[in-house]
Amino acid sequence: MPSRFMSVPILGLRSCIFRVGDRLDEAKAWYTKVLGFGPYFDEPFYVGFNVGGYELGLHPEPAGDNAAAVAVNIYWGVESAHDAFTRMLALGATSFQEPTEVGGGIKVALVRDPLGNLFGMIENPGFQVKV
């Protein structure tokens, strides 16, 4: 007998949550600079930014083992991986992977935010979000 949960579809990426420990205010200020706008949800227990219909969340919970942050890379779409990477470095991020062509005109880059979280950027000319 099929489970009723077999018909529940995966709807796509909704949230990317960074654990920022006791540095929530610092993380909120940094991501406000990076994104160019403030959070839509701002509470002491969670801060959320609406980034093109997706959520970048900040959770005041310790990050734990930083090696786990490397296991999953989340990439946010950008028009230019090089320009976004350069801007992030100027705002205090550190380089993890410089912009790299991975085929088909797709470029990816990774930085660590000031809290140690990985932040990925992807320039993908073949992926267009329908609005």
| Averaged confidence pLDDT in the chain | 84
Domain carrying residue 74: 13-123
* Reported pTM: 0.71
Domains in the chain, number:
1
pLDDT score, position 80 = 92
Residue 2 to residue 39: CA distance in whole angstroms: 42
pLDDT score, position 64 = 57
Which DSSP state fits 25?
Answer: H
Long-range contacts of 90-93 (CB under 8 A, 24+ apart): 91/30, 91/33, 91/34, 92/30, 93/119
Residue 34 to residue 106: CA distance in whole angstroms: 22
Read off the CATH number of the domain in which 115 is found.
3.10.180.10
**Residue 6 is assigned to a structural domain of this protein:** no
Kindly state the percentage of the chain with pLDDT values over 70: 79
